[in-house]
Amino acid sequence: MSELTKEVAENTSKALIEFIWDSPTPYHAVSNMAALLTEQGFTELYENERWEISRGHGYFVTRNGSAIISFFVPVSPEQGYRIIASHSDSPTFKIKEDPEIPADGKYVQLNVEAYGGMMMGTWFDRPLSVAGRVAYASDGRVFTKNVDIDRDLLVIPSLAIHMDRSANDGHKYNVQKDLLPLFGEMSSAGRFRKLVAENAGIPADSILSWDLMLYPHSEGSIFGADNEFIMSPRLDDLQCAWTSLQGFLNGKKEQHISVHAVFDNEEVGSGTRQGAASTFLYDVLTRMNRALGGTEEYFQMNVADSYLLSADNGHAVHPNNPEKADPKNRPVLNGGPVLKFAGNQKYCTDAVSAAFFRDLCKSAGIPVQTYTNRSDIPGGSTLGNISTSQVSARSADIGLAQLAMHSVCEVGGVMDTAYMVRAAKLFYT
């Protein structure tokens, strides 16, 4: 492979920023990925229809509009599956069903609840908007449509320091009291539903329900003395989802069945029908195997011959708090993809799967870093060991190093974005 230049990495990171800006919710991320796949000649399959699959062709399936699995079947018989899994969701605030709340007889606020473990303090005092999907009835059937208000619409104002002298001493936030966004003056009462309906191009009274969430209405950017960093909302985990998809599209995909999976609801435990704990991956692989004429034993042989990379961002050493990192395994921004290890097996990496990934990256000159939690600080969880409970392939947890995970705006490395595209391309080649 040719040498990876800073210029290539910057362009790759700019394309990532654009993708994230166009993907304010999992519904948008999945629909944008489906469009990319369609552009590249992939055929959409539907779970409620019969599947006809031919060799030498690519397919994709979505579930709930918020999870997507794409795969490519090589012309010659395969040697197992090559799978990269990531997630489409990020911590945010969901808008409740009956959302408008009057405040002090003067303002209208929106009623929200937390989705996932976000850093609440980062959501104050910045332009917010609303996106997601609406479900509506038309001609006796229920349809869904993605919506994105896509303008500065809301703010969660912080309380002035003069009214809260302990504002800088650490805070415990109460979502129901402290985090309700300001929507308008009292004259705007009743407007929210209309605004959503207008955006969807449907009558307001046809809306039956919605999955709507807040998002920061500001595009990511590249920054740093030498433009070496990237800041954007939702880097966890769209940075992994998008880079692995680029690698999937550009890899040769000749020896194995190449599979790219993006699950929803990782931030709330993966336990939904579109999450990593669901049968989605198993269903797609077994149906594909059957459509190709494979027996159950053949499927199990293929699974035994497979590798799954669970790609979810990890923590870089924090410049202000370096003592929070492990004394030795300390990933940095732009240091390359990170292999994550955990003695309690919350990460599924072991010696064999780590060796496989290191060897793969070494062959292309891609640096690899390692992450472990400090032994006295419990870490987060991810989707690797959850998805392997459904499809028991050899697996490793990887990710890109980032700062400010679960902040409304996260920080990553420009070179890392390009390293991951390369590593994924190699994996699928």
CB nearer Zn ion, residue 80 or residue 380: 380
Question: Does the footprint of Zn ion cover residue 10 (CB under 5 A)?
Answer: no
* Euclidean distance between CA atoms 357 and 339, whole angstroms: 8
Smallest distance from Zn ion to CB 384, Å: 11
Question: Does the footprint of Zn ion cover residue 397 (CB under 5 A)?
Answer: no
Applying the rule CB under 5 A, the residues between 29 and 68 that interact with Zn ion are none
Q: Using CA atoms of 255, 48, 24, 103 in order, give the dihedral in degrees to the nearest 10.
A: -160
Q: Which span sits near Zn ion by CB under 5 A: 31-39, 158-166, 187-195, 304-312?
A: 304-312
Smallest distance from Zn ion to CB 209, Å: 27
Question: For Zn ion, what does the binding mask look like between residues 110 and 129, x meaning CB under 5 A?
Answer: --------------------
| In contact, 128 and 153? CB cutoff 8 Å | yes
CB nearer Zn ion, residue 130 or residue 405: 405
338 three-state secondary structure:
strand
Q: How many helices (DSSP H) and strands (DSSP E) are in the chain?
A: 10, 20
Applying the rule CB under 5 A, the residues between 309 and 348 that interact with Zn ion are 312
Question: For Zn ion, what does the binding mask look like between residues 182 and 221, x meaning CB under 5 A?
Answer: ----------------------------------------
Kindly state the number of chain residues that form the binding site for Zn ion, as judged by CB under 5 A. Answer: 3
Question: Does the footprint of Zn ion cover residue 236 (CB under 5 A)?
Answer: yes
Place of tokens 């924090």: 318
Q: Which span sits near Zn ion by CB under 5 A: 58-66, 218-226, 228-236, 254-262?
A: 228-236
Measured in degrees and rounded to the nearest 5, phi and psi for residue 342 equal -150, 130
Smallest distance from Zn ion to CB 289, Å: 29
| In contact, 137 and 147? CB cutoff 8 Å | no
Q: Which span sits near Zn ion by CB under 5 A: 46-54, 106-114, 308-316, 412-420?
A: 308-316
CB nearer Zn ion, residue 78 or residue 237: 237
Place of tokens 């870490």: 379
Sign of the dihedral defined by the CA atoms of residues 193, 270, 414, 378, in that order: positive
Smallest distance from Zn ion to CB 333, Å: 17
Sign of the dihedral defined by the CA atoms of residues 83, 230, 89, 387, in that order: positive
* Token output for 328: 């030795």
Smallest distance from Zn ion to CB 77, Å: 35
Smallest distance from Zn ion to CB 295, Å: 36
DSSP codes joined into one string, 176-230: HHH-PPEEEEGGGTTHHHHHHHHHHTS-GGGEEEEEEEEEE----EEESTTS-EE
Residue 109's H or E segment, with its range, is strand 107-115
Question: Does the footprint of Zn ion cover residue 237 (CB under 5 A)?
Answer: yes
CB nearer Zn ion, residue 9 or residue 398: 398
Contact set with Zn ion (CB under 5 A): 236-237, 312
